[in-house]
Amino acid sequence: MNDNQDLNKKTEQAAGRHSGKKQSKGRIAVNVIVAVFSVLCITVGAGCFYADAMLSKLNFVQDTEADAAPSIAVSETGETTSLPDPMFVDGLYHDDAILNVLILSLDDYREGDTGRSDSMILLSVDTRHKKLKMTSFMRDMFVQIPGVGSNRLNTAFTYGGAPLAVKTIENNFGVDIDRYVLIDYDAFETIIDSVGGVYIDVSDAEAAYINEYSYRTDIVGGYQLLNGDLARSYSRIRKIGDDFERTARQREVMSAAIEQLKSANIGTINHVLSTVLPMITTNLSKTEVLNLAANALTYFNYPIEQMRVPEDGAYSNAMVMIGGMEASVLRPDLEANSEALVKFIYQEDTPEMTQ
């Protein structure tokens, strides 16, 4: 059963047990940044000075190696104003109608330690097919890191920060990543609390783990509102299932946070932006963020689709030597996973099929 089926089944079970309550809101993880960028749309209408003040809180970095991100424009009717043909850019699949943003969250680490990317989710804003797509990359995949050699995917950040993490995914899986967003580990609780918590259908086993991790005894299974501390405990569960299920929980929290923002009032939105934006670093430009914000109400109405890399049946478990020690890793079938990722993001609109 794939991640979509797992989540759909979970949602159906929740609806059955709670038919008199609001329908389950969701799916995410540390990477609620997706929702933060989207909610900027409401503040844009409040005036340029206010929008500029909010954007000044973001940590912008200039990436001289990055090509210009696609300028996606959406009309008032929700139609993209131009749809250039998909193409290859330096051997990578690229479509100007699809914005690919890699969202990275850092694992907890000691001061002075660069850390590793605990969560890696590629958000694809697909205006060609009118969808939002989230792809989780498993951190324990054993891949080639440019200039470094073979290692776990999450160590790419250790060796070269977000730019090397982007290049590693591009080189191994063949899709062009336009921009990245980096969120501090400590921002998780703040972000979730800022949107008023997230609604999650928690199993009895998950509730027990949340209690253990959060030093509580009162959390029980069922559909409920989780605050930042509890949501972080939920998204970091490793003892139930495997890391594949863990990434599914992360996407579940992300989607749930987006749902919360849809009904937020201006006061809540202002609080979210003021609190969260200083915790975010991105190589998106101010103009690109404002473009996303201006069209975010349209993007909010796009259906959300999800996948993870590696796919079922497209990897093997292996023991390898890393730093003189034997380590357990996932060895992905690069060709199969690249093909699946390209099909998920670009669907049938790949250069080979459109020529």
Residue 42: pLDDT band with limits 50, 70, 90: very low
Residues 5-25 pLDDT 10s: 444 444 344 333 333 333 333
CB of 84 closer than 8 Å to CB of 128: no
Question: To the nearest whole percent, how much of the chain has pLDDT over 70?
Answer: 74
**In terms of pLDDT, which residue wins out, 35 or 295?**
295
pLDDT at 353 over 80: no
Residues 6+ positions from 218 with CB-CB distance below 8 Å: 211
Neighbour-count burial of 175, counting CB atoms closer than 10 A to its CB (0-12 exposed, 13-18 middle, 19+ buried): buried
CB of 104 closer than 8 Å to CB of 184: no
Tokens of 57: 């809180």
Tokens of 183: 């969120």
Tell me the average pLDDT of the chain: 78
pLDDT at 258 over 80: no
CB of 26 closer than 8 Å to CB of 259: yes
CB of 346 closer than 8 Å to CB of 93: yes
Q: What is the per-residue pLDDT for 35? A: 52
Q: What is the per-residue pLDDT for 12? A: 40
Residues 90-115 pLDDT 10s: 889 999 999 999 998 876 555 555 66
Domains of the chain listed by start with CATH number: 23-196+247-349 (3.40.630.190)
- What is the average per-residue pLDDT within 223-233? 91
Residues 6+ positions from 177 with CB-CB distance below 8 Å: 100, 101, 102, 122, 166, 169, 170
- What is the average per-residue pLDDT within 141-151? 96
**Whose CA is closest to 283, among 184, 157, 179?**
179
Residue 41: pLDDT band with limits 50, 70, 90: very low
Q: What is the per-residue pLDDT for 127? A: 92
Residues 192-217 pLDDT 10s: 888 889 999 999 999 999 999 888 88
